[in-house]
Structure 1
């Protein structure tokens, strides 16, 4: 299947972020990497912010695709525990360089954070609704925090773990904490 120009531009932009960071994402850098003129880029993305929003949307969509694949179906058809199992399984892999850089960037811009929050809202319970006296709800929250910690430690390379060990940890989280 042939990539659309928009997808080609997004691939080039991700490559710029991967090799040079978010600050290096300019029309000139993306034009050079994609072979598309600056006016061609402007046709698809009217501003750098529009390009960044599209990158966040694309990465969040790819993340959700991984979650759906792990679950074997849409989140609406699954229990909270089944969704969390898929989340833990997907969390056993580290983020790509561009994904991690862009997710960090999203923490300071609500427009960039919106696509990520939409995915999380479909997959995980809102922690503000968790009763600290409900042991089942607390187990789910603890398992989520552990999965997030596994993902972050691996993504930042603070605790290098073999892929098989990360997978075993994710399985242990869901089997031991969620039953």
Structure 2
């Protein structure tokens, strides 16, 4: 299937963020990376802010696609345990610098955080309130452990052996005990 121009632009913008950071995302830098004219970008994005919002959405959508692939189904068709297991398995993949920078930047802007938060809410939401339910607490601890694995590899120069990383992710996921809900 042929990639749309919009997707090509967003992938090029993600590469600019990966290499140079978010502040380097300009129409000129993204146009050069995508092999397009500045006018070609303006056709798809009216402003830099529209482009940045679209990058957030694009990468969050890509993350959700990985989660759905790991679960073998969309979040709406998966049980809570299946969603969290998929979330844990996707944590075996290190984040790209672009994903980290955009997630960090997004945490300071409600509009930028929305796509990331929506994915998290579908796949691994935190407990709604304090709870004495050990299953609910265990599930959230599993999510935190998966997030920790993801961040560990993303923020350190040390790379875990792929088999070890997979074994850790499976051990975290295995603590869930599939009770079918």
Within 2, Cα distance between the matches of 1:161 and 1:44?
A: 40
Task: Choose from 158, 176, 179 the match for 1:178.
Answer: 176
Deviations 1:51-79 (A, max 9, x none): 11111111111111111111111222222
Q: Which runs of 4+ in 1 moved over 6 A?
A: none
Whether the 8 Å CA contact 2:75–2:83 is kept in 1: the answer is yes
What is the aligned partner in structure 2 of residue 61 from structure 1? 61
- Cα pair distance change 1:158/1:35, threshold 3 Å: closer
RMSD: 1.4
Alignment partners' CA distance in 2, 1:4 and 1:111: 24
Q: Which ranges of structure 2 fall in alignment gaps of 5 or more residues?
A: none
What residue ranges of structure 1 are gaps of 5+ in the alignment?
Answer: none
- Structure 2 CA distance for partners of 1:160 and 1:53, relative to 1, 3 Å: same
In structure 1, the residue matched to 2:139 is 140
Partner of 1:6: 6
Whose helix fraction is larger, Structure 1's or Structure 2's? 1
> How many correspondences in the alignment?
177
Contact 2:8/2:34 (<8 A) preserved: yes
Distance across 2 between alignment mates of 1:38 and 1:121: 36
Matches within 5 A, 1:1-179: 1-131=1-131, 133-157=132-156, 159-175=158-174, 177-179=175-177
Distance in 2 (CA, whole Å) between partners of 1:121 and 1:145 is 14
Shift of residue 23 of structure 1? Answer: 1.0
Measure the CA separation in 1 of the matches of 2:82 and 2:101. Answer: 29
User: What TM-score do the two structures reach when normalised by structure 2?
Assistant: 0.92
**TM-score with structure 1 length normalisation?**
0.93
CA distance in 2, matches of 1:82, 1:2: 32
Deviations 1:149-170 (A, max 9, x none): 0001111126531111111111
Alpha-carbon separation, structure 2, partners of 1:112 and 1:52: 8
